[in-house]
Chains A and B, each alone.
Chain A
């Protein structure tokens, strides 16, 4: 499993591994700066806590509680409203984001649990002026109706094609099975994904 802790993360992590819980807690309590706040340790967090999340390549200081989900931070603190709250339990796929390159549901990830990981949202894939291949294909193939599920589909499609660049239609249908569209735009989503795959993953 690839691990991508913060810049100074690795040595500190190794240190914490070998130390007692109490020592780790003390070390963390005296570690106020941004780089340190990336770190993971056995300190027990309770109530509001400032943590740093790496989202779309930038570090953001955010104020969370242990119960705050990544989705809540993205939408209500960072104003990244692409990922959507739909099912609350991850079954809709609408809050799909990439965590260290893997597609996961922001609605079922605690913000404190993704410290030190690279989070990428649909906003990180470009936008109106600089759309990436998947976004272009979604526009070209009219792969959205109400659009609510679309950001989740775009991120999921990107993740799937990155891992399976030569995917067939059947592969794509299987791969995007975790995303639900209540308008039923599946046919166009699949066509868009096939077009990206045929273009070598870059449209």
Chain B
């Protein structure tokens, strides 16, 4: 690891004062389950690490008096979220955490940390940058787990957050603070993510000196769930995920939000899938039709194992 300074603020104002407006200078630490490995491998080489896990005001799950939903502090650990009765009305979120496949990950990772998990792309994780040669390494190399949607630019990694598809489907809003403590905005969670178009940009729209302090969910009134297609039973990333939040009346879907995960550089809101299921009863047939609609425009990067380079050894799959 490159040497860095370390600070552990206890308030949101202190945290913001410790951050730098310059990209890459500061990294936010919460549970450490993602960041420390990236520091260890020198994929990230910040001058300062700011630990936001000990900010009291970001460690609570509270009923949102105004909206009727809940406000989840970004520093809430996933196992505590799983045990919280306030979150039982959000099955899609609970299923994601249960499905992480590692109790260590559940205990150590935080809600905010998961939203900012860096991509698992093996070219990125072996130090080739997020776009890995303007997308060329992915296009020419082993790209079996790269983006199949939203991949026409140089970004071909897939968004790594496990919670984001479920939270977006559930209508989550991110409370973003910074650069100063007087700056506060509420951003629909899907707008937090963006596809970078040049090296140096990150996969979220946040400024380097902004922090997501809370995730706010509206009341969980409908039906929700997530399906993650996994390779084997281990704790690795799913190959694809789909979260759905539906309002069903009289057996018929009246409203639907369907968000795909692990398939594009951002969580992928599929309006096509939602359109296919609205007005229908949910049956294996209509669900399959929504699935087909979701991937109708998918364009996998062609895999050319004989022409390309193999992924570097010792990298994360």
Chain B residues with CB under 8 A of A41: 8, 10
Separation of A13 and B8 alpha carbons in the complex (Å): 12
Residue B104 lies at the interface, judged by CB distance under 8 Å to chain A? yes
Per the 8 Å Cβ criterion, residues 1-45 of B in contact with A are 1-11, 14, 17-18, 29, 31-41
Q: Which residues of A contact B247 (CB under 8 A)?
A: none
B2, B40, B56: the one within 8 Å of A89 (CB): B40
Do B33 and A90 touch (CB < 8 A)?
yes
* Docked complex Cα distance between A103 and B32 (Å): 13
Cα distance A41–B15 in the bound complex, in angstroms = 11
Which chain A residues lie closer than 8 Å to B53 at the CB level?
113
Please pick, from A21, A24, A160, A177, the residue contacting B233 in the complex, using a CB distance under 8 A: A177
In the bound complex, residues from chain A placing their C-beta under 8 Å from that of B153 are none
Task: Tell yes or no: B184 within 8 A of A by CB.
Answer: no
- Does residue B49 face the partner (Cβ distance < 8 Å to A)? yes
Is B59 within 8 A of A17, CB to CB?
no
Residues of chain B with a CB closer than 8 A to A102's CB:
77, 79, 107-108
Residue of A69, A88, A110 near B29 (CB, 8 A) is: A110
Contact B36 A110 (CB under 8 A): yes
Complexed CA–CA distance, A55 and B235 (Å): 28
Q: Is A66 an interface residue (CB 8 A)?
A: yes
Bound: A107/B104 CA distance, A = 12
**Contact partners of A21 in chain B: CB under 8 A:** 9, 14, 17-18
Of the candidates A13, A16, A45, A160, the one whose C-beta lies within 8 Å of that of B6 is: A45
Q: Kindly state whether residue A4 has any CB partner on chain B within 8 Å.
A: no
Contacting residue for A66 out of B6, B9, B31, B107, CB 8 A: B6
Q: Does B266 contact A (CB under 8 A)?
A: no
Q: Is the CB of B235 within 8 A of A178?
A: yes
The reply to whether B102 and A44 contact each other, CB–CB distance below 8 Å, is no
Closest to A39 in B: B8
Decide yes or no whether A43 CB sits under 8 A from chain B: yes
Contact A93 B9, beta carbon cutoff 8 Å:
no
Cβ of A123 within 8 Å of any chain B Cβ, yes or no, is no
Q: B56's contact among A17, A87, A156, A177, by CB below 8 Å, is which? A: A17
**B85 interface contact, C-beta 8 A:** no
Asked if residues A67 and B3 are in contact (CB atoms below 8 Å), the reply is yes
Q: Does A104 contact B (CB under 8 A)?
A: yes
Within 8 Å CB of A103, what residues of B? 103-104, 107
Chain A residue with Cβ nearest B102: A178
Are the C-beta atoms of B107 and A104 separated by less than 8 Å?
yes
Bound complex: CA of A90 vs CA of B105, how far in Å?
Answer: 9
Given A21-B17, A88-B41, A109 contacting B36 (CB threshold 8 A): yes
Chain B residues positioned under 8 Å from A89 (CB to CB): 36-38, 40-41, 316
Do the beta carbons of A42 and B7 come within 8 Å of each other?
Answer: yes
Asked if B103 and A44 sit within 8 Å, CB to CB, the answer is: no
A47 at the interface (CB under 8 A from B): yes
Task: With A91-B316, A104-B108 as known contacts, state yes or no: A40 contacts B102, CB within 8 Å.
Answer: no
Chain A 105-136 per-residue mask, 1 if CB under 8 angstroms from chain B, else 0:
10111101100000000000000000000000
- CB contacts (< 8 Å) of A113 on chain B: these are 6, 8, 29, 32, 51, 53
Beta-carbon contacts under 8 Å, A83-106 to B: 87-91, 93, 96, 102-105
Of A24, A46, A96, most buried by chain B (CB within 10 Å of CB) is: A46
Is A29 interfacial (CB 8 A cutoff)? Answer: no
Q: Which of A12-57 contact B (CB under 8 A)?
A: 13, 16-17, 21, 24, 40-47
**Within 8 Å of chain A (Cβ to Cβ): is B48?**
yes
B95-120 residues at the A interface, CB under 8 angstroms: 101-105, 107-108
* 62-78 of chain B: CB within 8 A of chain A: 76-77
* Chain A residues, CB < 8 A from B102: 93, 177-178
Task: List 18 contacting pairs A-B, 8 Å CB cutoff, sorted by A.
Answer: A17-B56, A44-B6, A46-B5, A66-B3, A67-B39, A69-B36, A90-B104, A91-B235, A102-B108, A103-B107, A104-B107, A110-B29, A110-B32, A110-B51, A113-B53, A159-B103, A177-B102, A178-B105
Nearest 5 Cβ contacts at the A-B interface:
A178-B102, A89-B37, A66-B6, A108-B36, A102-B107
* Besides A90-B108, A107-B36, 10 new A-B residue pairs in contact (Cβ under 8 A), listed by A number: A16-B10, A40-B10, A45-B5, A66-B49, A88-B37, A90-B104, A91-B316, A104-B108, A108-B31, A113-B8
